[in-house]
């Protein structure tokens, strides 16, 4: 590997070094754009460990780094090849108290991802196994903030164990944890030229965390457990949704769903889901709500076209409980009593403002039916 630095400044108090105009690429590379470049890299070191022949890094600040990745049709990448010597293994370890990435960019086959990050307690280890022609390593940090497009910055910690070879990248385990949520996944990335990533996941997701990250107040509050598998295949389409297949099961002991400036308690939630070619399929959904039982099956939501069709059925809902939870019943108003059986169907195109809904309901006392009503919107 050839590393070039345009300028270096060494400071003695505090001890540190600054590199300007950093690039890294293979020794014999002829490409104009190197796989890695940075406008400036600043490192702060601890002095006393140097007296004992140890290097401890207090801070690494990387300004405007760019990672530029390309894969040729024969599978060859623009990354530097393994060094040719007879040593069977080569190990590299690093511990950094604070790692900061400012205005970074990942460019993979002209798909660009802006990235900035602040990572504390960063540690990494990579071992080169020449016999297997692969790198085995782990990367972790105790506290992190990552900023990218369409997502709010959130506090978290992460740990990744991997094996990287010439033809595939194996994620042995990746763990991501926020204040109330946790995600674990594993998988295998093959065909660097046209990536295919398959794997499995388990997650305990807090609705409050998700509401903050995606900045959407309609996300229910409460914890949801998810478990399933996924496949990402670049050849499937142009968008992330087109390229992703995901299936699994969900369950939750209790959720609070926003409704009419109030919220509805939904309990014993369970169901199955499948995301395929941008369509979200919901199957065998069940829950307890408003004193009754809610079921839904064969619902389809097209996330690319903002269209969909759903059918909900609720049996034995309490009108009095519904009035209080939705906010329609307040002190001094007439209380509705009885039970309701409802069947609701809805379709929409372009957006939810164009919804076409049909509902049929039966209101009854505990002894029998009182009235039947159809409603169309």
Question: What confidence score (pLDDT) does residue 181 get?
Answer: 95
Residue 22 lies in a domain: no
Closest by CA position to 99, among listed 114, 118, 115, 116: 118
Would 236 be classed as within a structural domain?
A: yes
Helix, strand, or coil here: 211? helix
pLDDT recorded at residue 185: 96
Residue 2 lies in a domain: no
pLDDT-derived band at 335 (thresholds 50, 70, 90) equals low
Q: pLDDT class for 229, splitting at 50, 70, 90?
A: very high
374 occurs within a structural domain: yes
In whole numbers, what is the pLDDT of the chain averaged over residues?
84
- Residue 371's pLDDT is 53
What does the alpha-carbon distance between residue 244 and residue 233 come to, in Å, rounded to a whole number?
A: 7
Q: Which two tokens stand for residue 34?
A: 């190197």
Nearest CA to 213 out of 152, 295, 141, 259 is that of 152
Instruction: Tell me the per-residue pLDDT of 189-217, one tens digit each, with 9 for 90 and over.
Output: 987 777 899 999 999 999 999 888 888 88
Token reading at 263: 């919220």
**Closest alpha carbon to 345 in 303, 377, 306, 371:** 377
For residue 88, the model assigns a pLDDT of: 52
Give residue 109's pLDDT: 67
Each residue of 71-123: pLDDT tens digit? Answer: 666 556 676 665 555 455 566 677 888 999 999 988 876 677 888 899 999 98
Report yes or no on 303 lying in a domain.
Answer: yes
Among 18-32, 98-112, 182-196, 326-340, the range scoring the smallest mean pLDDT is: 326-340
Tally the domains of the chain.
Answer: 1
Average pLDDT of the residues in 37-52: 85
Compute the chain's Rg from CA coordinates.
Answer: 27
Q: Can the peptide bond before residue 14 be classed as cis, meaning omega within 30 degrees of 0?
A: yes
Largest CA distance in the chain: 88
Reduced to 3 states (helix: H, G, I; strand: E, B; else coil), residue 123 is strand
Helix (H) or strand (E) holding 340: strand 339-348
Residue 72: other Cβ atoms inside 10 A: 10
Residue 242 lies in a domain: yes
Query: Are 62 and 43 a contacting pair, CB within 8 Å?
Result: no
The tens digit of pLDDT for each residue in 343-375 reads: 989 898 876 667 788 888 888 876 655 555 555
- Reported as a single tens digit per residue, the pLDDT across 259-316 is 767 788 999 999 999 999 888 999 999 999 988 999 998 899 888 888 889 999 999 9
d(CA 117, CA 100): 6
Tokens 């395929």 — which residue?
Answer: 276
Q: Which two tokens stand for residue 259?
A: 């409704």
Q: Record the tokens describing residue 77, joined without a space.
A: 């990448």
Contact 324, 335 (CB under 8 A): no
Q: Return d(Cα 318, Cα 338) in angstroms, integer.
A: 6
**Which has the minimum average pLDDT: 77-86, 149-158, 229-238, 262-271?**
77-86
Counting residues of the chain whose pLDDT is more than 70, the rounded percentage is 85
Is 194 in a helix, a strand, or coil?
coil
Query: Whats the size of the chain, residue-wise?
Result: 377
pLDDT band at 55 (very low <50, low <70, confident <90, very high): confident
Q: Which domain holds residue 235?
A: 220-377
pLDDT attached to residue 128: 81
What is the arithmetic mean of pLDDT over 39-47?
A: 89
Domain assignment present for 372: yes
Sign of the Cα pseudo-torsion (249, 197, 117, 109, in order): negative
With respect to residue 104, please indicate whether it lies within any of the assigned structural domains. no
Q: What local confidence, expressed as pLDDT, does residue 33 receive?
A: 81
Strand partners, 296: 285, 312
* Interval 179-190: pLDDT, tens: 899 999 999 998
Average pLDDT value for residue range 218-243:
88
Cα–Cα distances in Å, from 241 out to 32, 142, 222, 299?
33, 31, 26, 18
Question: Given its phi and psi angles, is residue 297 left (phi above 0), alpha (psi -120 to 50 degrees) or beta?
Answer: beta
In terms of Cα–Cα distance, which of 332, 111, 100 is closest to 240?
A: 111
In 3-state terms, what secondary structure has residue 147?
Answer: strand
pTM of the model: 0.75
Rounded to the nearest 10 degrees, how much is the dihedral formed by the CA atoms of 166, 172, 174, 175?
-170
Residue 31 has pLDDT above 70, yes or no: no
Two structure tokens written together for 328 = 């329609």
């Amino acid at each position: 590997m050839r590393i070039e630095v345009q300028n270096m400044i060494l400071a003695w108090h505090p001890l540190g070094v600054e590199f300007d105009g950093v690039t890294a690429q293979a020794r014999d590379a002829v490409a104009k754009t190197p796989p890695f470049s940075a406008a400036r890299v600043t490192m702060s070191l601890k002095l006393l460990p140097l007296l004992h022949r140890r290097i401890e890094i207090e801070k690494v600040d990387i300004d405007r780094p760019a990672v530029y990745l390309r894969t040729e049709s024969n599978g060859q990448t623009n990354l530097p090849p393994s060094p040719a010597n007879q040593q069977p293994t080569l190990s590299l370890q690093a511990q950094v108290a604070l790692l900061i990435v400012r205005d970074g960019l990942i460019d993979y086959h002209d798909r660009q991802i802006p990235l900035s990050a602040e990572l504390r307690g960063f540690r990494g280890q990579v071992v080169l196994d020449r016999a297997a022609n692969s790198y085995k390593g782990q990367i972790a940090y105790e506290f992190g903030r990552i900023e990218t497009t369409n997502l709010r910055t959130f506090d978290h910690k992460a740990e990744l164990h991997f094996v990287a070879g010439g033809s595939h990248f194996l994620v042995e385990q990746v763990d991501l944890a926020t204040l109330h949520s946790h995600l674990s996944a594993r998988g295998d990335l093959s065909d660097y030229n046209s990536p295919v990533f398959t794997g499995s996941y388990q997650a305990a997701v807090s609705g409050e965390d998700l509401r903050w990250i995606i900045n959407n107040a309609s996300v229910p509050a409460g914890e949801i457990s998810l478990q399933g598998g996924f496949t990402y295949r670049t050849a499937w389409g142009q968008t992330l949704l087109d390229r992703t297949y995901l299936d699994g099961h969900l369950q939750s002991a209790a959720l609070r769903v926003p409704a009419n400036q109030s919220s509805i308690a939904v309990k014993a939630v369970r169901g199955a889901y499948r995301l395929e070619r941008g369509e979200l399929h919901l199957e065998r959904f069940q829950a307890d709500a408003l004193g009754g039982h809610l079921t839904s099956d064969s619902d389809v939501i097209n996330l690319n076209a903002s269209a969909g069709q759903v059918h909900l059925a609720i049996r034995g809902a309490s009108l009095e409980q519904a009035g209080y939870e939705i906010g329609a019943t307040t002190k001094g108003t007439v209380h509705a009593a009885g039970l309701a059986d409802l069947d609701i169907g809805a379709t929409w195109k372009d957006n939810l403002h164009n919804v076409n809904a049909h509902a049929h309901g039966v209101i009854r006392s505990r002894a029998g039916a009182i009235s039947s009503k159809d409603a169309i919107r």
